Amino acid sequence: MAEHPDQNETSQPTRWLTSDEREAWLSVVRVAARLPAMLDAQLERDANLNFFEYTVLAMLSEQPARTLGMSRLAAVTSASLSRLSNVVKRLERRGYLRRQPDPDDGRCTQAVLTDAGMAKVVETAPGHVAAARQFIIDAVTPTQLRQLRAANDRILRRIDPEATTRPPEIHPGQP
C-alpha cells in the first residue's frame, strides 16, 4: 500500500514549512553553499590554499606542540580520514606539516605543523580574518552576532550532539 504523500514513516502528518520557515531555511542553504566558495576564493588568491587546507593548518596552530591525532583532526574539520589524508599529503609535500606515529599509541598517526606551516598560518590569517569580518562579522550587529552564535550552537547540538566538530580549546600563550 502506497504511503500518503503528506505522511512520513511514523504515520505523522508532514509538518510543511510556513512561508517564513521556508525563507529562513533557504537563507541557511544559500549561506552554506556560498560561504565556502567565497572563503576558498580569498584563500586561493591570497595564500594558494583552499579553505579546508587552511582550516587544517589553523587547527594545528592552536594546539600544544602544534599536534593533533589524525582522527581528531578529521573530526574537528568535518572530514573523512580519507579526505584528510589526501590533504595532509599535499600539505606535507609543501612542507607545512608532517606526520608521525602517536607516541602513546603507535597504531595512530599525528599531524604536526612545521615551522613553515606556522609561518604560512601567520602570513595567511590576516586576510582570512578580513574575509570573516567582511562576509559575517561586520555584516551584522553585535547583538545579531550573539544571536547567530546562539542559533548555531542550538543547531549544532542537534546535528553534532557529541560535539565532535568542536575545535580543541585554544591554549594560552599559543598564537
Q: What local confidence, expressed as pLDDT, does residue 10 receive?
A: 66
Q: Give me the architecture of the 28-159 domain, per CATH.
A: Orthogonal Bundle (1.10)
Q: Please, are residues 92 and 98 in contact by the beta-carbon 8 Å criterion?
A: yes
Residue ranges, the chain, pLDDT below 50: 1-3, 172-175
Show me where the domains of the chain are located. Answer: 28-159
Q: What local confidence, expressed as pLDDT, does residue 1 receive?
A: 42
Q: Residue 137 half-sphere exposure, CB side, CA atoms within 13 Å?
A: 7
